[in-house]
Structure 1
Amino acid sequence: MIEKLVLTGAGGRLGSYLREPLSKMAEELVSTDLVDDIGTLYAGETYVKADLANYDEVFAALEGADMVVHFGAIVDEAPFEELLGPNFVGAYNVWEAAYQHGAKRVVYASSIHAVGMHAKNECIDTEVAHRPDSFYGLAKCFAEDLGRMYWDKRGLESVHLRILSCAQVTSARALGSWLSYDDLIQLVTRAVDTPTVGFSVVYGVSNNDRSPVDNNKAAFLGYRPKDNAEQFADAILAKEPPADSTDPAQMCHGGPFSAVDLGESGLAQMNIVDDRKKN
């Protein structure tokens, strides 16, 4: 069992599903976010309010950490100036504080948006070149390169989870991109408990028949998703409008983020259900 884990973004939708399983993997789980309260704490869990853009607050929250599961960020496209603190500087603050405290590993919530402008008919693997679809995706590229540099120069391990779409299936795109919450938990668990990872990238996607990405080069992590979005296909496709091959949202891996102007919300074009876990 790990002595101390830190989870950033614990107040978010995905964080709400990770808190309980992570609390069972560590003697102490420190959950952090910007909200005042995240509800009832699990056994061994404490909550620390911390601003990712403030190095001193991040440094204090990570004291004694063996590993960091870094899910905190603005989770949408926005003007660069809004993303700079939490998404860019925040990533640096987490890696630097983790290194200074002697942590073993950072597990990072990266995103398909780091490679979102690749064409959808390309089944991309984990070594495909960065091709961000937004400032949000650019921040993911920055953190992936940051993680590689800290591994190469300082020996701090990291696993970068390129999550496709971890939300209820409400569109044809999600038939390929869906990551169920159960598979999310397995993905993070494998990223934490695999003995050695160096610098690694893995796609966060369930075992979908229509998955557009290839995880073969990350097989050593032991991530074997169980769920399949095909169960939703008939209902989703019955109400889907005709396909448009001129629409980047349909033709690129990044979906709506590939089509919006830089700085404009991608989530506003999506039907994301806020079904965060209540504890």
Structure 2
Amino acid sequence: MRTLVTGAAGSIGTVLVSGLTDRGHDVFGLDRSTAPDGYGDRWYTVDVTDTDAVDAVFADLGRSGGLDAVVHLAGIPDEASLTDELHSHVVSTATLLDAMVAHGVGRIVYASSNHAVGRTPRSELLTTDVRPRPDTFYGVAKVAAEALLSLYADRHAIDAVALRIGSFLPQPETRRGLSTWLSHDDAVRMVHAALVAPDPGYAVIYGVSDNTRGWWDLGPGRTLGYEPQDDAEAFADRIPERDEDDVEAGHVGGPFATERYHRPAR
């Protein structure tokens, strides 16, 4: 599958470019950063919110074999102003979706976030049916981007899979991480499944590993073929308890749901 990965120079992007290539995908990278060594003409140094530049990328790929799917990872990875978050996550997604419609690309896999439901109180099992409860402007932007995917799925029959990613790290670093961890290998498994699942339509899944202490429903991901293999419990004896653990365990978004992240919208 010929796949364009935006944010390809980021922490998730670098893992996915390599991992998806190993699984047989023909991967092209897009990022504001220049290409790592060895990428050559398989890399586009572009701001994903630049409509004309993105359209030119799609046109170029169309001349050299076309494009089957987009994996959209680009965006501010932390809390910022509301304006910046909406531009980074919603405008970028709209730019890609319009290019997909114009060039006949039928699938997008989007890196959403657990922070889209971060103000949800902890429970034994968090399903994808809960209402959006963002914990920050970052979370608000992820909710809005998910809504945009839903709109284009309905209007243009685009297959759109939103991945509400947990804690993407080489290994969990906090007690909360024992529930929210997404391993590097499982991230590749998840995105691969979202790319090849037959006719997913619009779908939301939780992006976490098969953690013993996990509280997120993995059923929707398994429906698409995502079978996580890793478990944060393997690291449990290496993670010390902290004073913050109880507070971070109160809501899905952990520290993002605390007053530390409160700020005015303007």
In the other structure, the counterpart of 2:43 is 47
Describe how 1:198-209 pairs up with structure 2 within 5 A: 198-209=201-212
Distance 1:216 1:67 in 2: 24
Q: What are the superposed Cα offsets for residues 92-123 of structure 1, whole Å, 9 maximum, x if unpaired?
A: 11111111111110000011000000011252
Deviation at 1:28, TM superposition (A): 4.0
TM-score, length of structure 2 as denominator length: 0.90
In structure 2, the CA distance between the partners of 1:27 and 1:258, relative to structure 1 (3 Å rule), is closer
Deviation at 1:192, TM superposition (A): 0.6
Distance 2:103 2:22 in 1: 22
Identical-residue share of aligned pairs (%): 37
In the other structure, the counterpart of 2:189 is 186
Q: Which amino acid aligns with 1:253?
A: V
Distance 1:48 1:242 in 2: 45
In the other structure, the counterpart of 1:88 is 90
Question: Please, which runs of 5 or more residues in structure 2 have no aligned partner?
Answer: none
Please state if 1:60 is matched with 2:56: yes
1:10–1:38: 8 Å Cα contact kept in structure 2? no
2:176–2:245: 8 Å Cα contact kept in structure 1? no
In structure 2, the CA distance between the partners of 1:244 and 1:15, relative to structure 1 (3 Å rule), is closer
Please state if 1:10 is matched with 2:8: yes
Deviation at 1:233, TM superposition (A): 1.2
Please state if 1:139 is matched with 2:141: yes
In structure 2, the CA distance between the partners of 1:177 and 1:61, relative to structure 1 (3 Å rule), is same
Distance 1:14 1:263 in 2: 27
In structure 2, the CA distance between the partners of 1:122 and 1:103, relative to structure 1 (3 Å rule), is same
Give the count of matched residue pairs: 256
In structure 2, the CA distance between the partners of 1:263 and 1:94, relative to structure 1 (3 Å rule), is farther
What value does the CA root-mean-square deviation take over the aligned residues? 1.9
Distance 1:123 1:28 in 2: 36
2:113–2:166: 8 Å Cα contact kept in structure 1? yes
TM-score, length of structure 1 as denominator length: 0.86
- What SS does structure 1 have at the residue aligned with 2:5? strand
Deviation at 1:24, TM superposition (A): 4.7
Q: Which amino acid aligns with 2:81?
A: P
Deviation at 1:134, TM superposition (A): 0.7
Please state if 1:36 is matched with 2:34: yes
Q: What are the superposed Cα offsets for residues 149-203 of structure 1, whole Å, 9 maximum, x if unpaired?
A: 1111110111111101111311000000000000000000100111211001111
- What SS does structure 1 have at the residue aligned with 2:80? coil
Q: Which amino acid aligns with 1:234?
A: D
1:77–1:262: 8 Å Cα contact kept in structure 2? no
Deviation at 1:88, TM superposition (A): 1.8
In structure 2, the CA distance between the partners of 1:85 and 1:39, relative to structure 1 (3 Å rule), is farther
Q: Which amino acid aligns with 1:187?
A: M
Distance 1:243 1:134 in 2: 19
In structure 2, the CA distance between the partners of 1:112 and 1:244, relative to structure 1 (3 Å rule), is closer
Distance 2:220 2:178 in 1: 23
Q: What are the superposed Cα offsets for residues 36-58 of structure 1, whole Å, 9 maximum, x if unpaired?
A: 2323229xx70001112211112
2:119–2:135: 8 Å Cα contact kept in structure 1? yes
Distance 1:195 1:27 in 2: 16
